[in-house]
């Protein structure tokens, strides 16, 4: 087990006793001087099938126990080290629990943290799969090109894959690396690995040799599954000796055929797995440095899958076209686990092109998906939406960047049945932490929405103190979806986790209605002569200029002011610096870019689609004096 994180097994008996004593009392509420401000949370979207109604903002999620509610004002003592608040990190703090009857959440201790969990939930990822199988055995589970598998057929494949993995010595706690494109094989491996109590380590197919060497060595993967076209990027056995079993879909030197795994003796009974154990290690995007292995637990995955199912009102009739990489937290959670939680249908799409996606969406009767704003822009730029029957598409999730206002307006005109839902989260939150009420998308375009059930978001200053409502600071996140730490990285775990909170590194704010705003990454914020500039706001203006495809705002070193504002733009021919400067005149003078670089091609992005601003700074020679 890696050092620096809580054990994956169940908490100690003393903690279990504490949970039993408090299982009927819900929301954690601190004393007035110690209680950080929290966002509201979304009780439940009204199924995204009708206009949203206004809902009352509350200070914290409403929760109830399995057998009723606790008495108002009941309090208990619990150890929450380094809890943020106005006092300086007490070792123990008094916690007051106030009962609210509503959402079916209750306080529980997991990994030494007290968090609000669903009182009624599935035990683990294996139970998630079994529930889907029981609900829709003969319904389609996954479509991969010409291959269409029902839940029963996919379960048989999962059982045989589990047998093949077991024959290679894979068992509870072993790490299995999966470096595949979006496919039925990827989906099957997710649940075959879970059936053995092993740990999934998904790796993006765009990862290069150096990154592969780091990931495989760091996690100590005992087995890897890849595809022939990507096998050359897998380091040789001498460099990754722990990875003794290597399989490839398609012939590749040094790899055994994948069909051998599929020919294993079926394993139909899942290994016993506690919900606090690690289900997957997802390596972070690494936009600011080397990626870290976030430990996604069975509890976190089950909780977030239920959140998507409930708030999107998903049923077995729903279908997603999954083009976001399955190896990314969004693809894994919003694509695979959310759809399986509803016993719906996953249509795997390996690469994105606007026309191909729309053709697939029309043919398969797409109902929900999560993309990035640039993809929606490409729909409008490269295809006539009126040429496709997209009447079934009711949820268009997006994240990673604000949606430009013109894009929202044009999509509303072209696809009146489509509800645009901004989603905000991270690998460390098992995504998402917030979702936007679609009726508010146009009015609150820059907001990422309201906190989801069980999520707790506070805004803290650099000293770890709560800031007043509406002011900016670092967003700290807590809840059952937060990972317990990083694999084999106690230093990063100690640095980024404080008590039950994860320090996101995002600069944001929460308004009086509980809507969350993400202004920038802490490391990307520009300080121009003492004025703080949030690059996302400037980028939003630039993206509203017709012909601008991508925009990234970075700091240009200045010996006088420290930093100046510079914009890197990928745009159509005819877009000029004067046009961009004119558009930015709506910004405060110190926010306006003072110089521009026009990129001939798309901006550099990492394997998960995030713009690599550090690469832009290096390419332009923007090194601080």
Backbone torsion region of residue 79, taken as left when φ is above 0, otherwise alpha when ψ lies between -120 and 50, otherwise beta: beta
50 by Cβ neighbours in 10 Å (0-12 / 13-18 / 19+) ranks as exposed
Residue 23 lies in a domain: no
Residue 216, pLDDT > 80, answer yes
pLDDT at 55 exceeding the cut of 50: no
Within a domain: 443 = no
This prediction's pTM: 0.80
- What is the rounded distance in angstroms from the CA atom of residue 414 to the CA atom of residue 141? 30
Output phi, psi for 200, to 5 deg: -75, 135
Of all residues in the chain, the percent with pLDDT exceeding 90 is: 70
At 149, the pLDDT band (50, 70, 90 cuts) reads very high
Q: Which of 273, 305, 320 is the last residue of a domain?
A: 273
Q: Which of 6-20, 41-55, 65-79, 160-174 has the lowest mean pLDDT?
A: 65-79
Contact 279, 200 (CB under 8 A): yes
Residue 255 lies in a domain: yes
75-79, 149-153, 434-438: least confidently modelled range = 75-79
Domain boundary residue among 273, 303, 335? 273
Question: How many Å apart are CA 25 and CA 429, to the nearest integer?
Answer: 24
19 lies in some domain: no
Average pLDDT, the chain: 84
Tell me, yes or no, whether 282 lies in a domain: no
Cis peptide leading into residue 45 (ω within 30°): no
Residue 607's pLDDT is 57
pLDDT at residue 44 is higher than 70 = no
Which H or E run includes 464? none
Within-domain flag for 474: no
47 φ/ψ sector (left φ>0, alpha ψ -120 to 50, else beta): left
Q: How far apart are CA 93 and CA 40, in angstroms?
A: 23
pLDDT computed for residue 74 by the predictor: 26
- The pair of three-digit structure tokens given for residue 622, joined into one six-digit string: 């923007």
The answer as to whether 456 is a domain residue is no
Q: pLDDT, tens digit, for every residue of 454-475?
A: 999 999 999 999 999 999 999 9
The predicted-structure confidence for 302-357, as pLDDT tens digits, reads as follows 999 999 999 999 999 999 999 999 999 999 999 999 999 999 999 999 999 999 99
- Looking at residue 63, its pLDDT comes to 34
197 falls within a domain: yes
Look up the CATH number of the domain holding residue 564. 3.30.300.30
pLDDT above 70 covers a percentage of the chain that reads 82
DSSP result, 391-429: TT--EEEE-SSPPPHHHHHHHHHH-TTPEEEEEE--GGG
Average of per-residue pLDDT across 529-533: 84
Overall number of domains in the chain: 2
Tell me the HSE value of 384 on the side-chain side, using a 13 A CA sphere: 2
Considering only residues 387 and 606, tell me which one the structure prediction assigns the higher pLDDT.
387
SS3 content of the chain, % helix, strand, coil (to 5): 30, 25, 45
Residue 413: predicted pLDDT: 93
Q: Among 273, 299, 317, where does a domain finish?
A: 273
Per the model's pLDDT, the better-predicted residue between 589 and 321 turns out to be 321
User: What is the reported pLDDT for 215?
Assistant: 95
Stretch among 152-166, 252-266, 285-299 having the lowest mean pLDDT: 285-299
Domain of 184, in residue numbers: 125-273
Give the number of other CB atoms < 10 A from CB of residue 284.
20
Q: Which residue has the tokens 């914020």?
A: 525
The CATH number of residue 168's host domain is: 3.40.50.980
Residue 430's pLDDT is 98
Closest CA to 622 of 602, 603, 599, 597: 597
């Amino acid at each position: 087990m890696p050092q620096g994180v809580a054990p994956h097994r169940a908490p100690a008996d003393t903690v279990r006793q504490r949970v039993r004593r408090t299982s009927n009392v819900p929301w954690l509420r601190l004393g007035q001087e110690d209680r950080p401000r929290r966002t509201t949370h979304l009780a439940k979207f009204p199924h995204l099938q009708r206009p949203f109604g206004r809902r009352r903002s509350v200070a914290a999620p409403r929760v109830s126990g399995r057998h009723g509610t606790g008495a108002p004002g009941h309090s208990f003592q619990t150890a929450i080290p380094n809890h943020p608040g106005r006092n300086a990190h007490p070792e123990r703090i008094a916690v007051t629990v106030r009962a609210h009857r509503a959402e079916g959440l209750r306080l529980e201790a997991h990994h030494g943290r007290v968090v609000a969990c669903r009182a009624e939930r599935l035990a683990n990822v294996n139970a998630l799969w079994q529930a889907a199988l029981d609900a829709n055995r003969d319904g389609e589970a996954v479509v991969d090109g010409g291959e269409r598998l029902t839940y029963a057929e996919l379960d048989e494949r999962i059982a045989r894959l589990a047998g093949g993995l077991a024959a290679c010595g894979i068992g509870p706690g072993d790490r299995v690396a999966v470096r595949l494109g979006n496919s039925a094989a990827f989906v099957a491996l997710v649940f075959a690995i879970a059936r053995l109590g092993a740990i999934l380590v998904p790796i993006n197919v765009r990862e290069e040799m150096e990154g592969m060497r780091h990931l495989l060595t760091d996690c100590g993967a005992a087995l890897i599954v890849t595809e022939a076209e990507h096998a050359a990027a897998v380091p040789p056995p001498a460099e990754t000796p722990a990875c003794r079993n290597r399989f490839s879909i398609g012939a590749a030197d040094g790899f055994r055929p994948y069909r051998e795994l599929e020919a294993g003796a079926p394993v139909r009974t899942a290994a016993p797995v506690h919900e606090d154990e690690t289900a997957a290690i997802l390596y972070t995007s690494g936009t600011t440095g080397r990626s870290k292995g976030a430990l996604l637990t069975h509890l976190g995955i089950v909780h977030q899958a239920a959140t998507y199912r409930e708030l999107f009102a998903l049923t077995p009739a729903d279908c997603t076209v999954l083009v976001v990489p399955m190896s990314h937290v969004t693809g894994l959670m919003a694509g695979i686990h959310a759809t399986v939680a509803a016993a719906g249908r996953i249509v795997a799409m390996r690469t994105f092109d606007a026309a191909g996606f729309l053709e697939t969406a029309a043919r398969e009767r797409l109902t929900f998906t999560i993309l990035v704003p640039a993809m929606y822009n490409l729909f409008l730029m490269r295809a006539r939406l009126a040429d496709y029957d997209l009447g079934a598409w009711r949820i268009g999730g997006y994240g990673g960047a604000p949606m430009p206002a013109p894009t929202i307006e044009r999509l509303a005109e072209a696809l009146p049945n489509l509800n645009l839902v901004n989603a905000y989260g991270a690998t460390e939150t098992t995504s998402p932490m917030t979702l936007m009420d679609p009726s508010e998308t146009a009015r609150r375009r820059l907001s990422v929405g309201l906190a989801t059930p069980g999520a707790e978001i506070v805004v803290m200053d650099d000293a770890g103190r709560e800031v007043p409502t509406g002011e900016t600071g670092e967003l700290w996140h807590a809840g059952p979806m937060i990972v317990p730490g990083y694999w084999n990285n106690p230093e990063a775990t100690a640095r980024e986790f404080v008590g039950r909170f994860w320090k996101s590194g995002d600069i944001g704010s929460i308004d009086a209605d509980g809507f969350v705003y993400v202004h920038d990454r802490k490391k990307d914020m520009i300080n121009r002569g003492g004025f703080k500039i949030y690059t996302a706001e400037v980028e939003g203006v630039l993206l509203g200029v017709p012909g601008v495809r991508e925009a990234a705002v970075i700091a240009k070193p200045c010996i006088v002011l420290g930093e100046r504002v510079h914009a890197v733009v990928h745009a159509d021919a005819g877009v000029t610096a004067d046009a961009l400067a004119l558009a930015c005149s709506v910004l405060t003078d110190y926010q306006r870019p003072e110089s521009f670089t026009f990129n001939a091609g798309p901006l550099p992005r990492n394997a998960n689609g995030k713009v690599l601003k550090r690469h832009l700074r290096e390419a332009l020679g923007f090194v601080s004096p």
